[in-house]
Amino acid sequence: MSLRSAFTTFGFALDRRRLGIAKFRKLRFRFVSALGFHYLCTMADILESSVKYVPGVGEARARLLEKELGVFTVGDLLRHYPFRYIDRTKIYPIDRIDESMASSLVQFRARVTGVAYAGEGRRQRFSAFVSDATGSAELTWFHGIKWIEKSVEVGREYIVFGRPSFYRGQLSVIHPELEMVEKALNRTARSGMQGIYPSTEKIASALGTKGFYRIMCNAWTLARERIPDPMPAAVRSRYDLMPLAEAVGNVHFPQSPALLARAQRRLKFDELLGVQLSVQAQRSERLSRRNGFLFPRVGELFNDFFGHRLPFPLTEAQKRVIREIRQDTVTGFQMNRLLQGDVGSGKTMVALMSMLLAVDNGFQACMMAPTEILARQHFATISRMTQGMPLHVAILTGASKTAERRHALEGIASGEVDILIGTHALIEDNVRFSNLGYVVIDEQHRFGVEQRARLWTKNNRPPHILVMTATPIPRTLAMTLYGDLDVSVIDELPPGRRPIKTYHYTDAARLKLWGFLRQQIALGRQVYVVYPLIKESESMDYKDLEDGFESIIRDFPLPQYRVTVCHGKMKPQDKEESMRQFKEHEADILVATSVIEVGVDVPNATVMVIESAERFGLSQLHQLRGRVGRGGEQSYCILMSGDKLSRESRARLRAMCETNDGFRLAELDLRLRGAGDINGTQQSGESFDLKIANPTLDAELLQTARQAAEEILAADPQLESAEYRPLRELRARHAAGRKFDFSMIS
């Protein structure tokens, strides 16, 4: 059987076409839109109709909402919740606004005393000077000037709403929202709380904050009478849940803080329940089968390796995890295990020893790595460690040449190859295993739970699966994301490691940094210099890297310093060659993009310099840092950034300097991102589509939802009865991990 056909038979989504939930929704809503507005007015399920029919939206904005926010339908729009609220009844005197309020939104009432233009062309800006009885402020716009200059009238009084900043003690607001006082006073205030919606730059310029508020009002007016509540009455009363329509109404237009809190609790509960229903159903289905391969023997290979070839004693944590895997593979159930271990904790060894176990029991094993470099490295390490053993290890990647490819394919099909290591080339159709019993997936950040679970659902004899990740996941999140996985943790680093020292510098310290690198290189150590690579701005990033590379070559000249470079756009052979040079200490400095983020192991490297560190996420920074500190020497991580940093970036960099603990960082990361940050939610939420619940912050509610899901499934495992059937949609919406895509990885 080929791994690919195994994956696909299990419904494992392998390409974008098959994953496309978004596509599916697009089609669904095209269909609905085709029926037109007339239908909309009469149809029961207005929540399913296109958002373009909401007054104030229309075709163009609908396309934007779709593209930028994944909002297709009226229901989607109503599920686009505010991430925070501001009190629009509160108006501050200018002298009460101080630096502690920077970065929150405030409102004040002031008269325009004058306007000014500065700069030219693209750098043009427009300022309005305003004052009230207590002080003055400057309002500044950098774009949309044509429009704003028309709406600002000297001598008139406005309500100014925006984010305060201070320059030499002077209050200033960039791009504030202005509203004429008369109009503002007419605004129906209700509780005075106004939702602020997660948005993107494009949406903000098309709609503005206020615009979002307006179309939300219109959507609510359309739908308010037609929001069915899927929650059975018994569950609702048992867990004290507000009716759905009331919750939707209050989350957008809170009647009071107390009602808002109840509304949020209800909506979070729905999401978490949906996820729990999905993962628990998967789990019970898996456990209802007893079709796992059995690995009862601890045989020659394992014993030989353990007894004679281990290059170092295993840590207690490594031993424990190997034991857990052994226990899993003699039960008759198929193993589905997530192995979490911080960078450098020695997961590869666990992978190898558990693969030996499989081979000892007559099965083939394979190990999939996310990048070519990493696959080659695993192949080299494992071949070296098992040299001379009666064990046949082969490699297969996208870059394998004909001979290597043929060797791997034939060996795997005939059963001659015991362990196959590779990239996602392993799941191509032509890779046919004769007897695959065990699969290890390394560093698989994006592996969705549903796909993982589906590895087994449709097949009689699925292989055991070990997924290894160095992105530590807080327990609560693991429970949500990986409800169907058993989790092992390596919570111990091999002995003798010294904590990495981390520092944050700006460009002003560049000379000092270079001096430090020279010192380290003089001591015989090696250095990584990493540049960010973010898809949207690829060419720009390459320019950064190229400029950086050139200046490093200039400042670190041959023959004293040997510099090499490695990035995603290079040919695989070239990448490999450059990694080899670095590995074998033929190069002192490796300039790279985040290609090296995962897995690369060069114990002699002691300095990791991360350029534009503010552009990386916390877990990425931590991963990168994990490339050093692998030998016995003191290692350093230097975070370089510009002077101007957002509050979040500053907090991220500070956290990196304060701790080496990946779990703490991961937890903090989730908190920092919050629910309002679109990119953040896409990252942490990509596999389970949570809009309002945050499994870390809402840990308690998660437990409650888990319990509710257990009760519901005990009463009606298939959600068949009239009472529970409506929950199916909730389950489908939050079915975790449906966006996995191999092509995104390497």
Q: Which residues are near ligand ADP by CB under 6 A?
A: 312, 314-315, 318, 341, 343-349, 470, 494, 599, 601, 603, 630
Considering the complex, what minimum distance in angstroms separates the CB of residue 578 from ligand ADP? 19
Residues 446, 450, 456, 462, Cα dihedral to 10°: 10
Could you tell me how many helices (H) and strands (E) the chain has, helices first? 27, 22
Establish if 346 lies at the interface with Mg ion (CB under 5 A). no
Query: How deeply is 460 buried, as exposed, middle or buried, from its count of CB atoms within 10 A (0-12, 13-18, 19+)?
Result: exposed
Considering the complex, what minimum distance in angstroms separates the CB of residue 226 from ligand ADP? 52
DSSP letter, residue 465: E
Residue number, 184 or 608, with CB nearest to ligand ADP: 608
What single letter denotes the amino acid at residue 20? G
Q: Could you tell me how many residues make up the chain?
A: 746
Considering the complex, what minimum distance in angstroms separates the CB of residue 303 from ligand ADP? 18
Considering the complex, what minimum distance in angstroms separates the CB of residue 442 from Mg ion? 6
Residue number, 155 or 495, with CB nearest to ligand ADP: 495
Residue number, 152 or 314, with CB nearest to ligand ADP: 314
Residue number, 378 or 738, with CB nearest to Mg ion: 378
Contacts of 108 (CB under 8 A, 6+ apart): 91, 92, 93, 94, 97, 132, 137, 159, 160
Cβ(433)–Cβ(365) below 8 Å: no
Residue number, 339 or 358, with CB nearest to Mg ion: 339
Considering the complex, what minimum distance in angstroms separates the CB of residue 427 from ligand ADP? 21
343 binds, among ligand ADP, Mg ion, none (CB under 5 to 8 A by kind): ligand ADP
Query: How deeply is 96 buried, as exposed, middle or buried, from its count of CB atoms within 10 A (0-12, 13-18, 19+)?
Result: exposed
CA distances 133 to 20, 93, 326, Å, are 57, 8, 76
The residue range among 287-295, 591-599, 602-610, 722-730 that interacts with Mg ion, by the rule CB under 5 A, is 591-599
Q: What is the DSSP string of 145-160?
A: HHHHHHH--TT-EEEE
Considering the complex, what minimum distance in angstroms separates the CB of residue 198 from ligand ADP? 34
Considering the complex, what minimum distance in angstroms separates the CB of residue 348 from ligand ADP? 3
Q: Which of 628, 592, 601 is nearest to 347 (CA)?
A: 601
End-to-end CA distance of the chain: 25
312 binds, among Mg ion, ligand ADP, none (CB under 5 to 8 A by kind): ligand ADP
Considering the complex, what minimum distance in angstroms separates the CB of residue 687 from ligand ADP? 22
Residue number, 203 or 465, with CB nearest to ligand ADP: 465
346 binds, among Mg ion, ligand ADP, none (CB under 5 to 8 A by kind): ligand ADP
Residue number, 494 or 617, with CB nearest to ligand ADP: 494
The residue range among 110-118, 392-400, 543-551, 598-606 that interacts with Mg ion, by the rule CB under 5 A, is 598-606
629 binds, among ligand ADP, Mg ion, none (CB under 5 to 8 A by kind): none
494 binds, among ligand ADP, Mg ion, none (CB under 5 to 8 A by kind): ligand ADP
Residue number, 277 or 339, with CB nearest to Mg ion: 339
Establish if 195 lies at the interface with Mg ion (CB under 5 A). no
Residue number, 282 or 315, with CB nearest to ligand ADP: 315
Q: For the CA atoms of the chain, what is the radius of gyration?
A: 29
Task: Provide the sign of the torsion angle of the four alpha carbons 655, 656, 657, 663, taken in this order.
Answer: positive
Q: Where are the beta strands (DSSP E) in 336-443?
A: 336-341, 364-368, 393-396, 419-422, 436-442
Cβ(276)–Cβ(719) below 8 Å: no
Residue number, 468 or 719, with CB nearest to ligand ADP: 468
Q: Which of 664, 744, 731 is nearest to 279 (CA)?
A: 731
Considering the complex, what minimum distance in angstroms separates the CB of residue 160 from ligand ADP? 52
Establish if 344 lies at the interface with Mg ion (CB under 5 A). no
Residue number, 382 or 420, with CB nearest to ligand ADP: 382
Considering the complex, what minimum distance in angstroms separates the CB of residue 620 from ligand ADP? 15
Residue number, 267 or 357, with CB nearest to ligand ADP: 357
Residue number, 191 or 444, with CB nearest to Mg ion: 444
Angle between helices 618-625 and 647-658 (to 10 degrees): 30
Token pair of 354 as six digits: 């558990």
176 binds, among ligand ADP, Mg ion, none (CB under 5 to 8 A by kind): none
Residue number, 622 or 673, with CB nearest to ligand ADP: 622
Cβ(613)–Cβ(653) below 8 Å: yes
Considering the complex, what minimum distance in angstroms separates the CB of residue 562 from ligand ADP? 23
Establish if 599 lies at the interface with Mg ion (CB under 5 A). yes
Token pair of 680 as six digits: 């953040």
Residue nearest to Mg ion (CB): 599
What single letter denotes the amino acid at residue 196? I
Residue nearest to ligand ADP (CB): 346
439 binds, among ligand ADP, Mg ion, none (CB under 5 to 8 A by kind): none
Contacts of 218 (CB under 8 A, 6+ apart): 54, 55, 56, 57
The residue range among 525-533, 537-545, 593-601, 636-644 that interacts with Mg ion, by the rule CB under 5 A, is 593-601
Task: Give 341's strand partners.
Answer: 490
Token pair of 274 as six digits: 């949906």
Residue number, 75 or 599, with CB nearest to Mg ion: 599
Long-range contacts formed by 147-154: CB under 8 A, 24+ apart: 148/178, 149/115, 151/178, 152/112, 152/115, 152/128, 152/178, 153/112, 154/112, 154/113, 154/114, 154/115
Considering the complex, what minimum distance in angstroms separates the CB of residue 353 from ligand ADP? 11
164 binds, among ligand ADP, Mg ion, none (CB under 5 to 8 A by kind): none
630 binds, among Mg ion, ligand ADP, none (CB under 5 to 8 A by kind): ligand ADP
Residue number, 252 or 630, with CB nearest to ligand ADP: 630
The residue range among 118-126, 569-577, 596-604, 721-729 that interacts with Mg ion, by the rule CB under 5 A, is 596-604
Considering the complex, what minimum distance in angstroms separates the CB of residue 205 from ligand ADP? 43
C-alpha 129, offset from chain centre: 42
Considering the complex, what minimum distance in angstroms separates the CB of residue 345 from ligand ADP? 4
CA distances 20 to 76, 260, 588, Å, are 17, 34, 45
Q: Where are the beta strands (DSSP E) in 99-203?
A: 106-118, 125-131, 136-141, 157-162, 164-167, 170-174, 177-180, 193-196
Considering the complex, what minimum distance in angstroms separates the CB of residue 599 from Mg ion? 4
Establish if 198 lies at the interface with Mg ion (CB under 5 A). no
Contacts of 312 (CB under 8 A, 6+ apart): 494
- Residue 688's region, left for phi above 0, alpha for psi from -120 to 50, else beta, is alpha
Considering the complex, what minimum distance in angstroms separates the CB of residue 349 from ligand ADP? 5
What is the spatial distance between Cα 485 and Cα 503, in angstroms, rounded to a whole number? 37
Number of chain positions touching Mg ion (CB under 5 A): 1
292 binds, among ligand ADP, Mg ion, none (CB under 5 to 8 A by kind): none
Interface residues toward Mg ion, by CB under 5 A: 599
